Structure 1
Amino acid sequence: MSKFRFRLLFALISLIITVLVGLGLLLGQIFNSFYINTYKDRMEKEASLIALLLSEKKLGDENIDSLMLEASNTLNSRLTIIDNSGNLLFEGGEGRFHHEELISRVLNEHMEETDGFQIILDEDRLFYYGLPFYENGEKQGFVLLNSPVDSLKKVNQQIWSLLVASLGLSLVIILLLGVRITSQYTRPIESATTVAMELAKGNYKARTYEDHLDETGMLSQSINILARNLQDMTRAQEMQQDRLQTLIENMGSGLILIDGRGYVNLVNRAYKELFDINSDDFLYKLYYDAFSHEEIIGLIEDIFMTEVNVRKQLLLPLKIERRHFEVYGAPIIGHNDEWKGIVLVFHDITELIRLEQMRKDFVANVSHELKTPITSIKGFSETLLDGAMDDKQTLEYFLSIILKESDRLQSLIQDLLDLSKVEQQGFKINIADCDLKEILYDVYTILNSKAEEKEVNLSIDIRDGIVPVRGDVHRLKQIFINLISNALTYTPKGGRVHITALNQEEHAIVTVSDTGIGMDEEELPRIFERFYRIDKARSRNSGGTGLGLAIVKHLVEAHKGHIKVNSIVGEGTTFTITLNKDEKFD
């Protein structure tokens, strides 16, 4: 903004100097012309006076020379009188005289003059005024007055000095006043311009001073009002933007925004996490280049062509699993039916589908599991009532089968009650300081007889003196009894089941490994489902209910622990459980 002030001052100074110089030249010329004219008038009157004296008295009178000398001294001029032939009749007074050149000029140029005339000799710039004089009506000669031009030069210099001094002083005064006035009027403009530039950069906190009540003050006031309005609008917009951004990024469903040309403009965090994508490789690409699933591309094309809302359930492969999505797509129509784009919302309903399927499987499995022992009990009871009870050996055999099926039914019901209990929302365990080593040895003692009966080598290896954890002793025993019992069940004769416990700084890790039949990799994610069996015939014959690993998983999670499994078909299975430990345990 200082450039504006400089340009304004430069223009003002240039204009003022031009006006003052022009005015000085004009005044100087006027003063000089006035003085020269006055000087000429004086010389003319003096020459007329001398000519009048000469017309009254003749040259040669005894007192005429003294009179002419006295007149020249009184007039402070050199007086020269010549006749018509150029002869010098009189000369007196101060100053220099050039006879030949002066007389030659008079005779050649002014001989016929009847009025006054002037002669300027180049040498020394001498100024002569000539006037013919008459006697009895006849021209007798010329009266020539010579006045030094030094007075003219001096007066001219004084005039120009006075003009330069007065105009220079005027210039200084005008400049001071101009600087002050321009500063007074340009400072608010500079301040307003600076604030406007800050507003253009996005700094809506900038303000300018409001010192005047004139137009510049109104400008400053308007700029400040604009800045406050912009600040309020920006604050409201930022608040709305933050709310919208928070809503979009933290909603549980995936969100995609596609503009009217088909380019992906927005992808929220939920979608990136669901599909494991990088936004840099996804944003600002055409939808058919961004999406890899033909089902999604077809849905988008349907919305583009029909411009109506679409809701579909899609089963999409993601890495090694297939997930169910309910996709809702809607066109974005602006004012005046302007096409803006498409919004897609992806709801992951895989868990809902899985839970619904689990509910159906649970009902079917429970019905099937209960039907088998009840059918057996009913069948053998009817057989006994039909007369088989009279045969003691048959009676004992049928009763033993009924007892076995009753025990199986009781075990199934008990497992269902335990699973229902641990799956309840408010299920709690009794946390206390425990020694995991002591728990594992107790379980080893309980199941060692079963291992010997199956001729399976059951071993335990705990090298640390104590393995402290935080947990429920009874529930921990239930976890390891289920795991080790399953290992013994699926390990053939001559096999081996090995238990280890490792004491780490923050966790205790227990592994239960066997050399049993193993499992396929595809089956591992499902082994913790209720009633899921790998070898269904063998599992049912072994007396298992199919609920043990589901109970184990819930109990481990209740202890804030983790369980994982590794298995190879024909080589065996290893379960690894990680439990939190108390560092202050004594």
Structure 2
Amino acid sequence: MTKPFVRRMIWVCLLALAGFFIIVRGIDTILYDQQTAHLQSVYDTWHDLGGDTTQTKVFAEDSKTTITVLDGTAKTTRNRIVQKVVDNDRTRAGHGNRVVVNGTKEQVYIGRIGEVFIGVWQPQASLWRTAPAWGWAFTVVYWLIAGGFLLWLWRRHHYWVKHLAHMTANIQRIRHGEPVTPLILTPHSPFLPMGEALNSANSAVTHLRHKVALRQASFDRLIDHLPQGVMLIDADRQVILSNQALGTLIGHPVAPGHHNYLDDIKTYALARMIEHTFRKQKNHHREITLIATQKAVDANVISLAPDDQHQQVLVILYDVTFLRQVERMQLDFVGNVSHELKTPVTAITGFAETLLNGAMDDEEARVKFLQIIYNESTRLTQLINDILTLSRPENEALTLEAVQPKALIDEAITSLAQPIEEKHLTVTNQLAPTLTIRSDAVKLSQVIRNLLNNAVFYNRLGGQVTISAQPDETELILTFQDTGIGIAENDQERIFERFYRVDKARSRHNGGTGLGLAIVAEMVKQLGGEITLKSQLGVGSTFTVTLPVN
């Protein structure tokens, strides 16, 4: 029990005790008034019957009632007491009074006839003296009622404490997001409105928590799927938010939970930007290279500073490594194009100048130089066409139509009849004439022509070129196998790069531009297929092209 409740119970007990004595006192007062009225009626009766005032002591019909004539001679103790009361004028005639005679409480009514006072005596009436059985019955009933009231108070207190504790526990569970325990209340319970309000609050909080959880999950998914690396740092330099992209950029996953950002950021330039942002509350932007992964990133460090105590810094890292690689490739491509264009242009210019300076008069020299100029111009035209082919956008629309690969291969073989004859090559086209697929005829033709060019120009004398196919319901596998010089293993990874040549001198002698296999790889990619190479130096090469049939 609580101290306030104990104090309350003590006060109730004291009030019950005081009430008991007040009721008993009230009953005695009522008995006093009734007894006074009775004694007065006895006196009136005695007076009406002609009471003898010469006698000092007369007994009425009631043996418990005594009438005493107070003649001034105090012969008995009762007379002396009443006489003293009269002499002291402590009461008036016609009123009752209580006195103690020989240790016994008695009640006297004092009347007056002339100068003579008459005292009518009777033992004092009280609850315990008059009706002791009723007194005990009243006491038992009263204290049973008082005890029942105390028990009711205790049970009420226990009811309130129990329900308040239950509701307090439910409020704590709602606060911590835990399920509440049910509370059964009667329709007349004083806690019914509070319980309904608590259930309503629980439903509202649960709904809000669910909405917040959904929004947080959506936000977390959004952050995790952002291509940019994101990190949020609080004023204590603790990481409170990060995503997977940031872990990829810095080279290791970011540990969950709050921790110092220096545990993850090992690049001094980026850490310095973050510290400057905290100190100056100013945004910073810079391109840096991360030490662990050597990735080039565009770093934005943004100050979120409502005040100094709640300052936060947002770090956003955008991976620009691919862009820088593309820029380098573009620069390399421009450099290679310039070099490749410069070679035939220089040859054409040089030989034309030689002819203009007098070599045209020499028939043999003129024919030789003009042939060289023609070959170089042809090579220049082929180079320009190849560059234009590679410059077409990847998302260029395909023109799908029914295509017979065997016919395209036969056309390519016909266009290469002269070098095939000069090298005494045996070219075998094993494709069935009825084989048909839906594809872009122009792009597929470029793939076939470039692969056949490589197979012919890099083949040995008397070698073989075999073109075969393995069709099924979903894809077509074209195989171009030759018995040429082959490609070294360390060159096979770069064979599809632009302007890359295994044998630079021989490729230029054959009129190659270094773009043929790059064009093949690009066209196959646009057609939705893939190309693989299997080659052995001095034995030959096999190019396998896998294309969708629909």
Separation in 1, partners of 2:172, 2:372:
96
Determine if the alignment matches structure 1 residue 518 to structure 2 residue 490. Answer: no
Partner residue of 2:137 out of 144, 152, 161: 161
2:344 aligned partner = 373
Separation in 2, partners of 1:14, 1:498:
114
Determine if the alignment matches structure 1 residue 388 to structure 2 residue 396. Answer: no
- The equivalences for 1:462-477 within 5 A come to 469-477=437-445
**One-letter amino acid of the structure 2 residue matched with residue 407 of structure 1:** T
- The equivalences for 1:156-195 within 5 A come to 156-165=132-141
Separation in 2, partners of 1:34, 1:419:
126
Q: 1:13·1:175 contact (CA, 8 Å) conserved in 2?
A: no
Partner residue of 1:545 out of 490, 513, 516: 513
Separation in 1, partners of 2:384, 2:173:
77
Distance 1:193 1:261, change over 3 A: closer
Shift of 1:411: 1.5
2:20 aligned partner = 24
Separation in 2, partners of 1:25, 1:456:
138
2:377 aligned partner = 406
SS at match of 1:429: coil
Distance 1:334 1:370, change over 3 A: closer
Shift of 1:540: 1.4
Shift of 1:555: 2.0
Shift of 1:518: 1.6
Separation in 2, partners of 1:568, 1:323:
35
Shift of 1:416: 2.7
Separation in 2, partners of 1:545, 1:575:
19
Alignment deviations for residues 168-203 of structure 1 (CA, whole Å, 9 cap, x no partner): 5688799999999999x9999899868855752459
Separation in 1, partners of 2:219, 2:384:
51
Q: 2:487·2:502 contact (CA, 8 Å) conserved in 1?
A: no
Alignment deviations for residues 362-386 of structure 1 (CA, whole Å, 9 cap, x no partner): 3333332232223222333333344
Distance 1:441 1:172, change over 3 A: farther
Q: 1:457·1:497 contact (CA, 8 Å) conserved in 2?
A: yes
Distance 1:417 1:26, change over 3 A: same
1:212 aligned partner = none
Partner residue of 1:324 out of 276, 296, 303: 296
Separation in 2, partners of 1:248, 1:569:
50
Q: Which structure 2 residue ranges, 5 or more long, are not aligned?
A: 43-53, 66-99, 107-121, 179-190
Separation in 1, partners of 2:437, 2:347:
45
Distance 1:314 1:451, change over 3 A: farther
Separation in 1, partners of 2:291, 2:480:
33
Separation in 1, partners of 2:219, 2:325:
32
Distance 1:282 1:234, change over 3 A: closer
**One-letter amino acid of the structure 2 residue matched with residue 418 of structure 1:** T
Distance 1:177 1:266, change over 3 A: closer
Distance 1:305 1:118, change over 3 A: closer
Shift of 1:402: 2.2
Alignment deviations for residues 257-298 of structure 1 (CA, whole Å, 9 cap, x no partner): 34455444332243345566434x47645445435xx5x244
SS at match of 1:354: helix
Separation in 1, partners of 2:440, 2:131:
126
**One-letter amino acid of the structure 2 residue matched with residue 24 of structure 1:** F
Determine if the alignment matches structure 1 residue 360 to structure 2 residue 334. Answer: no
Determine if the alignment matches structure 1 residue 266 to structure 2 residue 235. Answer: no
Separation in 2, partners of 1:23, 1:389:
148
TM-score with structure 2 length normalisation? 0.63
Separation in 1, partners of 2:149, 2:461:
121
Shift of 1:542: 1.6
Determine if the alignment matches structure 1 residue 200 to structure 2 residue 175. Answer: yes
Query: Which of the two has greater helix per residue?
Result: 1
Shift of 1:407: 1.7
SS at match of 1:344: strand
Alignment deviations for residues 199-242 of structure 1 (CA, whole Å, 9 cap, x no partner): 52459xxxxxxxxxxxx999999999999998999899889868
Shift of 1:431: 0.9
TM-score with structure 1 length normalisation? 0.59
Q: 2:305·2:312 contact (CA, 8 Å) conserved in 1?
A: no
Alignment deviations for residues 311-346 of structure 1 (CA, whole Å, 9 cap, x no partner): 444445887xx643333445x463454584654332
Separation in 2, partners of 1:423, 1:287:
43
Shift of 1:430: 1.0
1:142 aligned partner = none
Distance 1:188 1:379, change over 3 A: same
Separation in 2, partners of 1:56, 1:479:
162
Shift of 1:424: 6.8
**One-letter amino acid of the structure 1 residue matched with residue 393 of structure 2:** E
Q: 2:521·2:531 contact (CA, 8 Å) conserved in 1?
A: yes
Partner residue of 1:428 out of 373, 397, 412: 397
Separation in 2, partners of 1:549, 1:283:
51
Q: 1:28·1:160 contact (CA, 8 Å) conserved in 2?
A: no
RMSD across aligned positions (CA): 6.1
Q: 2:427·2:464 contact (CA, 8 Å) conserved in 1?
A: yes
Separation in 1, partners of 2:241, 2:518:
41
1:290 aligned partner = 264
Shift of 1:543: 0.7
Shift of 1:401: 1.8
Separation in 1, partners of 2:289, 2:461:
44
Partner residue of 2:447 out of 467, 479, 485: 479
**One-letter amino acid of the structure 2 residue matched with residue 267 of structure 1:** S
Q: 2:406·2:429 contact (CA, 8 Å) conserved in 1?
A: no
Separation in 2, partners of 1:240, 1:249:
14
Could you tell me the percent identity over the aligned residues? 28
Alignment deviations for residues 497-517 of structure 1 (CA, whole Å, 9 cap, x no partner): 554544455433434455644
Aligned residue pairs, count? 473
Q: 2:300·2:316 contact (CA, 8 Å) conserved in 1?
A: yes
Distance 1:318 1:476, change over 3 A: farther
Separation in 2, partners of 1:453, 1:76:
168
Q: 1:32·1:156 contact (CA, 8 Å) conserved in 2?
A: no
**One-letter amino acid of the structure 2 residue matched with residue 381 of structure 1:** A
Distance 1:38 1:418, change over 3 A: closer
- The equivalences for 1:331-350 within 5 A come to 332=303, 334-338=305-309, 340=311, 342-350=313-321
Shift of 1:551: 2.4
**One-letter amino acid of the structure 2 residue matched with residue 552 of structure 1:** V
Separation in 1, partners of 2:438, 2:285:
49
Q: Which structure 1 residue ranges, 5 or more long, are not aligned?
A: 47-54, 58-66, 78-114, 120-128, 130-144, 204-215
Separation in 1, partners of 2:398, 2:227:
31
Partner residue of 1:253 out of 228, 235, 240: 228
Separation in 2, partners of 1:431, 1:224:
66
Alignment deviations for residues 339-365 of structure 1 (CA, whole Å, 9 cap, x no partner): 846543322223332333333333333
